[in-house]
Amino acid sequence: MLEPAITVHGLRKSYDGVEAVKGISFEVARGEVFGLLGPNGAGKTTTVEILEGYRQRTAGEIAVLGIDPETRDLELRRHVGIVLQSTGFYTRATVRESVEHMAVAYPNPRDPAETIELVGLRGKEDQRVGRLSGGQQRRLDLALALVGDPSVIFLDEPTTGFDPAARRTAWGVVRALKDLGKTVLLTTHYLDEAQSLADRVAIIKDGLIVAQGPPSELSPGRARYRVAYDENGRRVELETDEPTELLHRLTGEALARGERLQNLSVSRPTLEDVYLELTAEAAEQ
């Protein structure tokens, strides 16, 4: 079996004696889309930037494509594409110049014009970067990460500031990358984004992973199936581990009364329910 694209084992990072990442471990298989979720300050960017080789770790073993990114290996950098949480590229350059400039750093780049089109910036090629809107700059960030045709892509909040249509476009780009067999590590605060894109997610809280797995399989402690219906103009909401039994009882009782349950719905806990439950304590502090 191929080694994983990314391995992280016992990663720790302290800033001035304060531990921001407290020993986290995960692996990302080749071709997998992996999401890092967690509240502000949880340690996501710290983790991602250590994997990108931009920050030094305090302890732990990490590898990207089998190489320790701290070595800043040139071969590794040719296979990695990056969207940083905050960027500062030349604001006087145009969109086309920026993308072409990035493309020459890679051995087998994508066509710059095609890449610009891919992220939805066609027609903006000659615009100076400083004149782009926030969401357009973020699209350019994505183009810069993709133009080298990397096999591993790090996306730190890639769709923050995107309008809903742009977000869907970006989701399509990530899915296309997955179809091409690329590995994607992304962070996001949009749980629908994680649910829709990620094969697996890890939820980080205070520098520790509190849950890890496919979004649909993360098991919540309390968040259970929700059964809801209207009764005398009021919404009744019930939680249960056994929706079949509960529905059987409720519908049986209603039928016996000659009634119908109005606006009946059954919903599974969403990733958002699980996330909010697992990170609740952090939010209260």
Would you tell me which residues interact with Mg ion (CB under 5 A)? 44-45, 85
Beta strand segments in the chain, E: 6-15, 18-28, 33-37, 59-64, 80-83, 152-156, 183-187, 200-205, 208-213, 225-231, 234-240, 262-267
Count of chain residues binding ligand ATP (CB under 6 A)? 11
Q: Which of residues 163-222 bind ligand ATP (CB under 6 A)?
A: none
State the minimum distance, in angstroms, from the CB of residue 127 to Mg ion: 27
Residue 211, beta-bridge partner list = 203
- Residue 40 site contact among Mg ion, ligand ATP, none (CB < 5 to 8 Å, cut-off depends on kind): ligand ATP
- Tokens representing 184? 């994607």
State the minimum distance, in angstroms, from the CB of residue 231 to ligand ATP: 41
State the minimum distance, in angstroms, from the CB of residue 284 to ligand ATP: 17
CB nearer ligand ATP, residue 85 or residue 196: 85
CB nearer ligand ATP, residue 15 or residue 90: 15
- Residue 20 site contact among Mg ion, ligand ATP, none (CB < 5 to 8 Å, cut-off depends on kind): ligand ATP
- Residue 215 site contact among ligand ATP, Mg ion, none (CB < 5 to 8 Å, cut-off depends on kind): none
Question: How far is Cα 69 from Cα 63, in angstroms, rounded to an integer?
Answer: 7
CB nearer Mg ion, residue 28 or residue 99: 28
Check if the beta carbon of residue 5 is closer than 8 Å to that of residue 65: yes
CA contacts within 13 A on the Cβ side of 180 = 15
| Alpha carbon distances (Å) from 166 to 119, 153, 154, 161 | 8, 19, 19, 9
CB nearer ligand ATP, residue 124 or residue 205: 205
Check if the beta carbon of residue 48 is closer than 8 Å to that of residue 154: yes
Question: How far is Cα 277 from Cα 265, in angstroms, rounded to an integer?
Answer: 22
State the minimum distance, in angstroms, from the CB of residue 18 to ligand ATP: 7
CB nearer ligand ATP, residue 85 or residue 169: 85
Q: Which of residues 32-91 bind ligand ATP (CB under 6 A)?
A: 38, 40-46, 85
Question: How far is Cα 273 from Cα 224, in angstroms, rounded to an integer?
Answer: 9
Instruction: Select from 7, 12, 14, 20 the one that contacts ligand ATP (CB under 6 A).
Output: 20
Check if the beta carbon of residue 262 is closer than 8 Å to that of residue 229: yes
Q: Residue number with the shortest CB distance to Mg ion?
A: 45
| Alpha carbon distances (Å) from 212 to 35, 41, 183, 271 | 10, 18, 18, 12
State the minimum distance, in angstroms, from the CB of residue 113 to Mg ion: 31
Rounded (5°) CA angle 92-96-102: 90
State the minimum distance, in angstroms, from the CB of residue 47 to ligand ATP: 7
- Residue 42 site contact among Mg ion, ligand ATP, none (CB < 5 to 8 Å, cut-off depends on kind): ligand ATP
State the minimum distance, in angstroms, from the CB of residue 260 to ligand ATP: 46
- Residue 46 site contact among ligand ATP, Mg ion, none (CB < 5 to 8 Å, cut-off depends on kind): ligand ATP
Task: Report the relative pairing of strands 6-15 and 18-28 from DSSP bridges.
Answer: antiparallel
State the minimum distance, in angstroms, from the CB of residue 55 to ligand ATP: 8
CA contacts within 13 A on the Cβ side of 105 = 19
For ligand ATP, the binding residues (CB under 6 A) are 15, 20, 38, 40-46, 85
